[in-house]
Structure 1
Amino acid sequence: MNRKRGLRILFLDGPNLNVLGDREPSMYGRETLADIRGAVTAAARSEGATVAFFQSNHEGEIVERLQSAKRRFDGVVINPAAYTHTSVAIRDALLYSGLPAIEVHLTNPARREEFRKVSLVEDVVVGRICGVGGYGYTLALLALLRHLRREGARGQA
């Protein structure tokens, strides 16, 4: 079996990421979530992987998507956004999924307000990519695929 093919990655985005491009462009830039998804889709295609995307401003919807990912995906790239600092529920759902995950942030939380320096998911993900804008999503995809190929596709149903 060609281990480069067939891996399925779920991208989960939290609140306010649906308004990228309009939201605080001096901090987040003009790139939209659709732009980021286009770049990720192209990278996934070249890597022989499949990606799916989900964004919600509602914590419970993110939790439900993580729960349902358990048997449908091999890994998760997650930007919990503001929920990074507050949601034990998302952390628990990520653990429940049993899937390897990469945490991604457009900005570098370590260089921002004090409350943004705490991530409730950082200790349950295999890696974290921050501060490189939308390109971080492509880096997260590549890092997760590398991890899955090295460790074996443990998330495969």
Structure 2
Amino acid sequence: MKHTYLYPLPDDAVFLWRLGRTSASDLFGLPGEPDEQWMTLITLDDAFGTARETVMRLIEDADRVCLGRRYVVPGSLDPASPEVEEGVERATREVTHLLWDAPLLSGELTARVLATLSSGRAPGRDPLVDIAAFLRAHDGRRVIPVWM
């Protein structure tokens, strides 16, 4: 079962994150029958996958914290998305949405993330004190929700 983690993102990797965080089916849904449309979907997925792999290499040795079990792809049009998102704890979903575009962490955003997570303990989530320390350590940087 995949979990959602928070990782710091290098500023020069924002484009790669925004490209690789979704699949073509998340962005566009699934095409109808024509083979040409399916081939275009596969071509796009390959490009998105390359971006995702690059981001993963950039962050693989970085510190991280776990938000909980399962994950969300905000705005996904993939027909399997409701099944993938089933059982995602509310706070994990909300924090994913807050950090999806890789905003710079600031006092206000950090406070919103911590307030959202303080509403309860999700299975697999790191202790709130560890998440707070992680966010303080990365103040002024970009932090992204990554599922693995």
Q: If the length of structure 1 is used for normalisation, what is the TM-score?
A: 0.30
Structure number, greater radius of gyration: 2
Q: If the length of structure 2 is used for normalisation, what is the TM-score?
A: 0.31
The structure with higher relative contact order (CA 8 Å, sep 6+) is 2
> Structure 1 or 2: larger helix share?
2
